[in-house]
Amino acid sequence: MRSYGFDYNNKELLIAKVQDEICATDGICTHQYANLTSGFLTEKERTVTCPLHLSVFKLEHGIPQNPPAELPLKTYEVKIENNGVYALI
């Protein structure tokens, strides 16, 4: 299980590999500005936990699982081509 953070045109993205699937979401918590690449990934639950206030988001659809976050993370389709991983923004 690994995650990487990227900045693309001033937009922070999180790319995470969990259970042999690659997920792409916004990299900033929807509750308050916190970089999710500093958060905690759980492979079995397929989630990322915000390091600031501990909101948990499902990586495949971005929906928060607990407060204080109420808004989902935006998720992106992922394309793998020529050994590269692309988030389709």
Q: How far is the C-alpha of 78 from the C-alpha of 65, rounded, in Å? A: 23
Q: What pLDDT is stored for residue 20 in this prediction?
A: 86
Going residue by residue through the chain (89 aa), what tens digit of pLDDT does each one get? 678 898 988 999 999 998 889 999 999 999 999 999 999 999 999 999 999 999 999 999 999 999 999 999 999 999 999 988 889 98
**pLDDT for res 1:** 66
Ordered domains of the chain (ranges, CATH): 2-88 (2.102.10.10)
User: CA-CA distance, 27 to 35, in Å (whole number)?
Assistant: 6
pTM of the model: 0.92
